[in-house]
Amino acid sequence: MYALVDCNNFFVSCERTLDSSLENKPVVVLSNNDGCVVSRSKEAKDLGIPMAAPAFKYKELFRKYDVKSFSAKFELYNFKSQQVIEIARSYVLEYETYSIDELFLDLTGFKYINLYDYCLEIRNKIQKETSIPVSIGIAPTKTLCKVANRIVKDFPEKFNGVYIMDTPEKIEKALRWLNIGDVWGIGRKLTAKMNDSGVYKAWDLLQKPEMWVRKVMGIHGVRMINELKGIRQLELDSPSPKKSIAVTRSFMEMLMKKDEVRERVETFGMYCSERLRKQNTCCKMVTVFVQTNRFRKDLPEYRNAMTKVLPNPTNSSIIIGRVVNELFEAIFKEGFHYKKAGVIVNDFVPEDQRLISLFEEDTQNQHLPVMKAMDAMNKKYGKDKVRLGSMSGENTFGRAQLSPEYEAFLKNNTLTEANFRFH
């Protein structure tokens, strides 16, 4: 069996830990620029505020019902998330953090204890020590855990925060009740397709022939029906390194001038390279996109994106900046009101492979002295024993040309041993 621990109205619950007077009151948390509602308390949901609602449309309602609203504080949320995870994981051997407010626990092998009582204890401990209320759904597969969790949330009086779905009878009852669109992995498009074919409840999907499911949903669908039947298809994933990094923003006001948009896009590129360096990886692909305001039907719409595969992996802000600029030049068109843009980097390799790429990119032979120095160090200490350290406090050469140390270094053509790391 697996258990899914899911924090209730997570961002709102975090805000409540700072201010207990928010208990039992309608509260919402808003996204960047206070644009959208990204978390709602139960009271706010009861007022009919939908998820992702644009805040400006509900200003009047907020005022009328005295809804407290907060700008998102992601540092706080990350911190509280860690606390919850620490407690929950201490009860099991294997677990998977699925998102900022959810984690799966592996209860396989817990044969001689009462899983319900065990999870209730986890829940109470989290509540007591972090003040974050959680719901726990227990079932044989991840997909069914999601269902069980949903049941806990929909019937709070009945289940006291924990529901265990451990018999075929319970599973059937749940699936006959659950709308197809609420199944994990079925989104808006598929819901419409399903309804067209007479599938309204999760249970209905299981009555369809496997070939049909395969055709409509692809390989995903086959896995899903098995999961719903209680046959495990999805294992717990160990935390894996990221596969892409995206920095995208909507602008406060629409931008028409090329240089204004360029400036933002360049900044996004810088953030990407910073994050790459933080996790000691380099990327092989860079994507830039721009788009106009999709809600302004009165203005011409334009959106475009372009990807470049780099000849060599890098995390240098200079090289990435250059690529970002190149792509931006290719996709930017004059005469549109731009509202959103972003840079995405992906296809990562470990940072060790970066130096080579830097030298290969070195068209002006700026780094020739460095290569010579590297050679000398290699001879002296043996290959693979030395590595270039940071030149300027920045963990990359790409930036180094901005630093006085680096300029001095280029002038004198000297590199001291202090610039090297040994391992």
Site residues, DNA (CB under 7 A): 31-33, 35-36, 38, 52, 54, 56, 98-102, 146, 183-191, 218-220, 242-250, 252-254, 285, 293, 295-296, 305-309, 339-340, 342, 344, 346
Cβ–Cβ under 8 Å, residues 266 and 204: no
**What distance lies between CA 69 and its chain's CA centroid?**
23
Q: How many residues does the chain have?
A: 423
Residue 416, C-beta contacts closer than 8 angstroms, at least 6 positions apart? none
Residue 282, C-beta contacts closer than 8 angstroms, at least 6 positions apart? 276, 313, 314, 315, 348, 349, 350, 351, 353, 354, 357
Provide the minimum distance between the beta carbon of 398 and DNA in the complex, in angstroms, as a whole number.
Answer: 20
Among residues 116, 119, 139, which one has the least CA distance to residue 127? 119
Q: Which long-range contacts (CB under 8 A, 24 or more apart) does 93-98 make?
A: 94/236, 95/236, 96/236, 96/237, 96/238, 96/239, 97/239, 98/4
Provide the minimum distance between the beta carbon of 20 and DNA in the complex, in angstroms, as a whole number.
Answer: 25
59 vs 383, beta carbon nearer DNA: 59
Residue 22, C-beta contacts closer than 8 angstroms, at least 6 positions apart? 12, 15, 16, 41, 68
76 vs 246, beta carbon nearer DNA: 246
* CA gyration radius, the chain: 27
74 vs 381, beta carbon nearer DNA: 74
Provide the minimum distance between the beta carbon of 40 and DNA in the complex, in angstroms, as a whole number.
Answer: 12
Provide the minimum distance between the beta carbon of 405 and DNA in the complex, in angstroms, as a whole number.
Answer: 31
339 vs 367, beta carbon nearer DNA: 339
Provide the minimum distance between the beta carbon of 7 and DNA in the complex, in angstroms, as a whole number.
Answer: 9
Tell me the two tokens of residue 45. 């949901």
Residue 31, C-beta contacts closer than 8 angstroms, at least 6 positions apart? 37, 38, 72
Provide the minimum distance between the beta carbon of 296 and DNA in the complex, in angstroms, as a whole number.
Answer: 7
Cβ–Cβ under 8 Å, residues 345 and 286: yes
Among residues 9, 6, 164, which one has the least CA distance to residue 98? 6
82 vs 167, beta carbon nearer DNA: 82
Provide the minimum distance between the beta carbon of 52 and DNA in the complex, in angstroms, as a whole number.
Answer: 4
Provide the minimum distance between the beta carbon of 168 and DNA in the complex, in angstroms, as a whole number.
Answer: 24
Residue 320, C-beta contacts closer than 8 angstroms, at least 6 positions apart? 269, 270, 272, 273, 283, 286, 314, 345, 398
240 vs 412, beta carbon nearer DNA: 240
H or E segment to which residue 264 belongs: helix 258-278
* Pure H helices in 32-141: 42-46, 59-64, 74-89, 115-130
* Pure H helices in 361-413: 368-381, 397-400, 404-412
- What is the residue whose two structure tokens read 């919402």? 28
DSSP character for 182? G
161 vs 397, beta carbon nearer DNA: 161
164 vs 186, beta carbon nearer DNA: 186
26 vs 137, beta carbon nearer DNA: 137
Provide the minimum distance between the beta carbon of 106 and DNA in the complex, in angstroms, as a whole number.
Answer: 19
Provide the minimum distance between the beta carbon of 415 and DNA in the complex, in angstroms, as a whole number.
Answer: 34
146 vs 399, beta carbon nearer DNA: 146
105 vs 344, beta carbon nearer DNA: 344
Provide the minimum distance between the beta carbon of 303 and DNA in the complex, in angstroms, as a whole number.
Answer: 9
